[in-house]
Structure formats: structure tokens, C-alpha cells
Structure 1
Amino acid sequence: MGRMSEDRPKERVASTSWWPKWEQQLSEYINTCERCQKVNRKHGKKYVLLQHIEEPKHPWETINKDWVTGLVSGGK
């Protein structure tokens, strides 16, 4: 069998249907299906453990700035 995300659909199709190259066609469908890609955990966000951030010893020792870009100019 293929990747874990392909196992269940292949089992379902194999238990009820058959046609030439069905496994290849099903794999191609799963690999190009937008919904399948969103559900497949392999393509999801990668999470990492949080890292400890040392607390500053003095005020203004550390300054952070957020950048906001892509805003439309004009308006009120």
C-alpha cells in the first residue's frame, strides 16, 4: 500500500470495485485533491517545542516590532 493517507480509500475501493490501474488512478486523485491535501496531516503546519526566552534584566533591553505590510492606501 501507499502512504497512510491512501490506505483507507484503497481498502474501501478494493472491497467493492475493480478496474484497470485503479490503484494508480486513486493515488493520483488523492495527491491532487484539494480537500485530501488539507486533511492529510503531512501537509499541515509543523509544530516545534516552545523555546525559553530569557527575561530582560533592564527596561528597554529588548524591543520588538511588528511589521504590517500590504495595506491599501487611502480611505478615511
Structure 2
Amino acid sequence: MDEAHKSRYSVHPGSDKMYHDLKTTYWWPNMKAEIATYVSKCLTCSKVKVEYQKPSGLLQQPELPMWKWEQISMDLITKLPKTASGCDTIWVIVDRLTKSAHFLPIKETDKLDKLTRIYIKEVVTRHGVPISIISDRDSRFTSHFWKSLHKALGTRLDMSTAYHPQTDGQTGRLTYR
């Protein structure tokens, strides 16, 4: 049973598959029950098989902001036709309480230092430093530089769940119409 379950060619099959594979060549009394017991005690299977893993936590709705512009969400609309000034992306920044938004034209190739200057000019100087930001997992929002900036400003960065745009629903509603 050890060879049939742990060899590099069998890849830890479940008890049903292992039984069907072995019954063509072997037979012994209580074979199916013994295979099920053997597989249930496999340490590797208990760690990696989906049916043995703990379920993921439930998604939580972000708390409602108490004051305008203390919690914002942001997203990028990319791959747009270039404007006369060369901009091909819109950076959407939305206040989660009032739903007011900034639509900032940028270039997809803009460096983080330029995005930082735009962010400080358009958001921080007008509305103050937000307490938290919800954004998708765009590399510009997950970079070390961006995280360091917000740590220095005292802003909490919250990333939306991958492939679950509802987490960042407010910018999503504005960007995907």
C-alpha cells in the first residue's frame, strides 16, 4: 500500500482511486476498508488535500467611515486610447463615505515618485491623509515604496481579495460601467 500511495507516479490518490487501481492486481480481505484507513492516516494528505483543510474565513465588509475622506478606495483604468498629452490611464480615487471621486489622468508608465506627487497634490493637500485605503493588488499599490509612504503617513493599506472586485466595489462601480 505504501508504494501505491506514496510513489512519485501515484501522487497520493484518495482511498477510492487507490482501491480501484490496486484491485486490478491485488486482493485481500477487507481491502477497501484497510486502504481507506491507510489513506486517512497519511500525514501528507491531511496537510494538502482540500477536504482536510480548514475552510477559509468569511469575507468581511469594510466598516463604514465616520468622516469624509478618512477611508478611500482606488483603482486604475488602463489600456485607454492615448490623449494628446500621452495619458492612457485614469487613476480613480473614491471617498467611501460621500462617494465623491477624483479621476486623475496618468500614463501607465508613470513611475511611483510621480504617482506619489499626484496623490499628495490631489488627495492629501485637499482632504488630508486618509486612515485607510482599499485597492486591488496592482503592483503599483503593493510595492515597497508605496507601503513605506503610507506607513510614514500613518495610513493603513487594505488589499481587496484577488479576483473579487466586490471588495473594492465603490471604485469598481465607477470604473466598470
TM-score range, shorter chain: 0.5 to 0.7
Unpaired runs of 5+ residues, structure 2, are 1-13, 71-177
State yes or no: 1:27 paired with 2:36: yes
Partner of 1:46: 55
**1:11-65, CA deviations, whole angstroms, 9 ceiling, x for partnerless residues?**
1111221112211211111111101212321211302441212233147xxxxxx
- 1:38 partner SS: helix
Q: Quote the sequence identity (%).
A: 29
Unpaired runs of 5+ residues, structure 1, are 60-76
- Give 4+ residue runs of structure 1 displaced > 2 Å after superposition: none
Flag the 1:39–1:14 CA change in 2: closer, same or farther, 3 A.
farther
TM-score normalised according to structure 2 size? 0.28
1:36 pairs, out of 45, 56, 60, with 45
Partner of 1:56: 65
CA RMSD of aligned residues (A): 2.0
Between 1:24-33 and 1:46-55, the stretch displaced more is 46-55
**Which amino acid in structure 1 is aligned with residue 24 of structure 2?**
S
**Which amino acid in structure 2 is aligned with residue 28 of structure 1?**
T
Larger Rg over CA atoms? 2
**Which amino acid in structure 2 is aligned with residue 19 of structure 1?**
W
- 2:20 partner SS: helix
Cα distance in 1 for partners of 2:48, 2:20 equals: 18
Number of residue pairs matched by the alignment: 55
